[in-house]
Chain A
């Protein structure tokens, strides 16, 4: 079995009285594309936030190459010590990006008053490459823009892009960091069918370049087509894992998406679950 690059072990995240993640675990292996699906509110984005240090986990461990990103320093301590440790972990968040974990944001966060090329240059300047000179970073940025197909709008202001290009810019910013692990948070939402095909192709090419990818997506057709394995979450916990075809026929998964009553109906009447789950993106949009 290939090496595990990134893993979460029994991760929980509590916001006040809301438990967004309860005991979630997964393993991402080198060079694979791992799909992450689940109904809205399942905790998919929260999981990415705990990995990238935006919201460090309340309990549990995030392992990158077997090393705990938070050194066990978060969570259980209380009062003043908890405040101190949260300050320290928050300060450390930038190191996670420098270590080689890059992400995109579901709600895109372009640097609006910078050009597209400058946006990507930021990724190349910092990230794992951590270049000292702006011109070297700009050269890398041009390479990445070419790779994702944004060269033609390199000089445009980032806020002048279409949705499809904004999603691509998110990807380009993350790729310019030259990461080992790429966490994609709904890069295909809001795209049309042709654009989705393009994005799927892009994700495959990213994997071929040696990056391990975890991808959150509501577009079932895309995630089933592109993932090696799929991992399903519901209400903050993982409920199933396996090859795309296995997962989609899992009664627990069907139930999570459709509720108990309809899930029973589907199973009784022998309707193809893929067709039903495939409707979901339009509902989501």
Chain B
């Protein structure tokens, strides 16, 4: 009797783990993919550093813009990807950083780097102040409120005399593509490192717990309000820095350009396309989206906006969790095929 009882118990414990050995393997694949991505990033970094030696003006411009967009997508990933709060008003911080930098450089005659850092810090503060009330909202309500913050910030700059009252501000001209390229690359590397550090720290665990279940996180002793505000303010800091860089790079800024709401949408699409909640996903998404956009622009000048929109719809329908998840989960291609069938493509 004892002989038969023994395997029975063991079998029941096996039944209790339906994920079985497959799940273990899946996680290992995930780790390998994460390592490969990290190695790719580390290998491409020196290549990126050497690019200005050979590249034409077109490529320098394109890459600088790509880096700035990647910084914005990476920043959004902290609040939208890790914390699960879909912020739709990040242009408020991008434009705010641009304006603070511009004002300091024109009126205050500050030099570029201190002005940009000041712009970032101002946005860190602004993000914390705005975040305290807005982060009490969840889901759609939060998204709408942040959109309101972006519009409010734009209208304030449009109407306040100290921000030029809707007249464009001209910054000192600087014709040095290498400077902008390297500052953008440096900021991008910093934001990726920040994301990596967050993901591995206590802060990261707290943020993901909030995303997964805020009530459970609160009861487990996580100061959810503080954690959300920290994530939102860090996101604002990175956006502000990118905005400061953008202002000097473009040398002319006005509210419609730097507070352009479509930028919000673009950078969220980049993060979602690449894979939210992963350190490198937003950068991959930004690169891919910029590539698609440029190709369409070159080949279908009249239709490119329509095709671009269609491409986004297809991507979101077929791989809602992004490219990084698609390559790192062993059976993710099945989900991809299932989605194909579901939408009768």
Contact = CB atoms under 8 A, between A and B. Distances in A.
Interface stretch (A18-26, A90-98, A209-217, A249-257): A90-98
Given A94-B218, A153-B19, A194-B12, A134 B201 contact: yes
Contacts of A153: 16-17, 19
18 contacts: A94-B218, A94-B223, A94-B224, A97-B220, A97-B222, A103-B219, A105-B216, A112-B212, A113-B277, A122-B209, A122-B217, A122-B222, A125-B202, A125-B206, A126-B221, A160-B19, A162-B17, A177-B221
B212 A114 contact: yes
Given A109-B215, A111-B216, A122-B205, A152 B221 contact: no
A173 interface: yes
A125 B212 CA distance: 16
Given A122-B209, A134-B200, A165-B17, A91 B225 contact: yes
Given A111-B212, A134-B202, A156-B19, A126 B222 contact: yes
Contacts of A164: 16
Contacts of A132: 202
Contacts of B341: none
Task: Tell me whether chain B's interface is mostly helix, strand or loop, or mixed.
Answer: helix
A176 to B, nearest CB: 9
A69 to B, nearest CB: 13
Most chain A beta carbons < 10 A, residue from B12, B218, B221, B224: B221
Given A156-B23, A157-B19, A93 B220 contact: no
B140 interface: no
Nearest to A165: B16
Contacts of B222: 94, 97, 122, 126
A105 B13 CA distance: 24
Interface string B1-28: 0000000000011011111000110010
Interface string A99-125: 000110100011111110010011101
Contacts of A91: 225
A126 B201 contact: no
Interface residues of B, number: 31
A155 interface: yes
Given A97-B221, A112-B212, A125 B19 contact: no
A95 B220 CA distance: 9
Interface in B7-52: 12-13, 15-19, 23-24, 27
B344 to A, nearest CB: 28
Nearest 7 pairs between A and B by C-beta? A97-B221, A160-B19, A111-B212, A126-B221, A109-B216, A98-B221, A156-B19
A130 interface: yes
Given A54-B215, A156-B24, A194-B12, A127 B19 contact: no
B23 A155 contact: yes
A115 B225 CA distance: 24
A97 B206 CA distance: 14
A130 B218 CA distance: 14
A53 B19 CA distance: 35
Contacts of A94: 218-219, 221-224
A155 B24 contact: yes
In this complex, the member of A134, A152, A153, A164 whose beta carbon has the largest number of chain B beta carbons within 10 angstroms is: A153
